[in-house]
Chain A
Amino acid sequence: MSAAITSRSLTYEYAPGVGAVELDLEVPTGQVYGFLGPNGAGKSTAIRMLTSLIRAQRGSVSVLDLDPWRDATALHRRIGVLASDQPAPRHHNGESLLRLLASLRKQPDVVQRGHQFAERLSLDLSKKGHELSLGNRQKLGLVTALAHEPELIILDEPTNGLDPLLQREIGVLLREIADEGRTVLLSSHSLHDVEAVADHVGFIRDARLVEQLPLASLAQRAVRRVRFRFGSDAVAAADFDSVPNTEGITVADDGEVTVQYRGPVAALLTRAGELGAVTIEAHPVELEETFLALYRGDEEVGS
C-alpha cells in the first residue's frame, strides 16, 4: 500500500525538545490515520510542516509525493486543511467564503458541495464569521476543508466544541471519504474520538512519535477498563486470577468491580458471567494511560 505521507527524521524545534522531533510518519493512502497526543505534544507543529506553513529544520517529508515547502501551491490544490482552532474570517459569512474559495481554487462546484456538507452538519451559511460559536466555526472550517474534494484531508482537532452527535456524524463522513480511497489525517488528544473511525494511529508525546500502528494492533495492546455489578454474592479480585491479560482489579465497597485488561475481552466476559455479573459498563481510558500502558508493554517486551 502506498503512503500519502512519508517523513524521515522530520524535525522542527522551537526550543530543544519542544515542537516535533525526528518524526518518521507513514500515513497509508485511503485510510484514516489518527494522530494522537496530549495538548502540546507536537501534533500541530507536525501538521504545520505537512501543510507548508513552516519549513522543516531537519529531515525529509513527502506529502502526496510532493515536498510541502517547495511544491506548496501544487500540494494545496490537492489537500484540505482544518487548522487547530481555526477562526472564521469575520467579514465573511459561510456562503461568501465558499464563493471566495471557489474563485481562488477555480472550482465553481465548491459552492454547491459546500452547501451539501453544511446541510449535513446543520451549519447556517448565512451567519458572519464573528457571529459563529466555536462549534459552528469548526463546522465551517470542516466544510471549507472538504468542499473541493481533496485527495488528502488534514484535520487538527476537528471535533473541538462539537456535541457527541456531530462528532459521530463527522466520524461517519470521514469513513465515507476513506472508503472512496482518499486519505484523512485526524489529529486529536482523545483516543476515544479517533478509535471509532481510524484505521491507523500514531502516538506523539514530548515532541516524538512513540508508536505507529494499525488500530487492530492497538486493540490488542491498549488497556481497557470495564465495570461489573454482580448479584447478591460478593466477588473478590482473586476470582479473576484465571483471566489472562488483566491488569489491576479493584472492588469497591458497594461491590462494583473494575477490571483493566488488554487484548480480547471474551475470557473476561465469560468469567464475569460465571460469577453472576448483572451489569457491565465499558469506560474509555485516558490517552495518557494508554501511553503508559504502551510504554510498559514495550519495556516488558524489551526486558
Chain B
Amino acid sequence: MSALAVRVGGTVSRRFHTGALGLGVATLWLSVIVLLPLSAVVVRSLDGGLGAFWDAVSSRQAVAALRFTVLVSLATAAINVVGGTLIAWVLVRDQFHGKRVVNALIDLPFALPTIVAGLTLLTLYGPRSPFGINLAYTQVAVLLALLFVTLPFVIRSVQPVLIELDREMEEAALSLGAGNATIFRRIVLPNLVPAILSGAALAFARAVGEFGSIVLISGNIPFRTQVSSVYVFKLIESDAPTSAAAVSTVLLLVSLAVLLGIRGLGHWGARHDR
C-alpha cells in the first residue's frame, strides 16, 4: 500500500502547488535567515586576505582543537555504529516489558536542552559523582557528552529499515544451513549499511558542532579538551571575529562535506533498494 502511494506521489502534478509567490517568499525567508548570515562568516573570514585566513586556521591552538574535535567525533560515530545498531536490534527483534517506554526514551537527547545534558553528566561523572567516578575536564568526558547527545541518530535511522527487512531472506538462509553469524554478516548487515552510515554521518556532524553539553564538562583546556566550537566561542569573546570566522568557515566546510556525503548515501541506498 505504502509503496503504491509513493509511486503515485512520484508522478508530480503541476496543477496544484503553492505557486510562485509562496515559493518566492519561502526562498527569500531561507536566504535571509540562513544564507545571508553564513555568507557573512565566509566573507569575514577572508577580511585580512588568504594569508590571515591561513594564519588563523593553522595556529597551533586552532589545529589542536580541530584535530581533537574530528577525532572525538569519529570515535563518537564509531561507538554509535555498534551501540546504535545493537539497541535498534533489541528494540525491533526482542520482546520485553516496558519496550515502548524505552523506545520513547531514545529521543530524550533530542528533547533535553544540551546545557542540561552537560550539567547532568557532570553531576554523575564529575567531582561530586555518587559512584566516585570523576571524569570532569578529561577527553573521555567530552566523548561521553557527545555519546549522550548523538545517541538517537543511528538507532532512529536503522530501526525503520530493520522493521521493513524481509525475514524470508533470513529464513531461507537458515534453511540452507547458515549460522547466525553468517546470516547477520551476509544478509542483515548489508541491508542495514546505508542506514547505519547515514545515521553515523549525522551523529558525526552533530558531534563536530556540539557546544552546550561540552562546555561545562570539558573544562576547555587548550591542547587537551578544547573542541573547535568552544575555541570559536573564546575567539568571539576575546573580540577576534575575523579569526573566529576563519575557524568557523573550516567547520562549515566539514558540515557541508558531511551533508553531501549523506545525500550521496541516500542515492546509493535507494539504488540498492531495488
Q: Do A and B bind each other?
A: no
B interface residue numbers (CB < 8 A to A) = none
Chain A residues close to B by CB (< 8 Å):
none
